[in-house]
């Protein structure tokens, strides 16, 4: 039989791990500083160099969920509903 406190602590640990994977939010002052820094990069570098700076360190995101497309939205039919 599973210990109830063990179950709740493992659920709490899983919740903490999920929260750690969430994107971090910036406060208004931090957002303003980030915008100013981005403008400096754009104004002081070529488009290509700025793009390299902004993309540096990023890694592709893989998804395990295939998108589902609603065929009725992409239909070339002239039917009216």
Q: Residue 8's pLDDT is what? A: 63
Domain boundaries, the chain: 25-54
Residue 54 to residue 40: CA distance in whole angstroms? 12
Question: Residue range 52-70: average pLDDT?
Answer: 81
For position 76, what pLDDT does the model report? 54
Look over the chain and give the mean of its residue pLDDT values, rounded to a whole number.
77
pLDDT, mean of residues 35-63: 92
Gap between the Cα atoms of 38 and 6, Å rounded: 47
- Whether residue 27 has pLDDT greater than 50: yes
Q: Decide which of 20 and 7 is more confident.
A: 20
What pLDDT does residue 68 have? 72
Q: Are 35 and 27 in contact (CB under 8 A)?
A: no
């Amino acid at each position: 039989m599973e210990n109830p406190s063990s179950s709740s602590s493992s659920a709490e640990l899983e919740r903490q791990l999920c929260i750690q994977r969430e994107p971090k939010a910036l406060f208004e002052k931090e957002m303003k500083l980030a915008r100013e820094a981005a403008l400096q990069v754009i104004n002081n570098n070529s488009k290509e160099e700025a793009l390299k700076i902004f993309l540096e360190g990023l890694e592709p995101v893989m998804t395990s969920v295939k998108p589902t497309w609603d065929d009725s939205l992409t239909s070339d039919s002239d039917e009216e509903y």
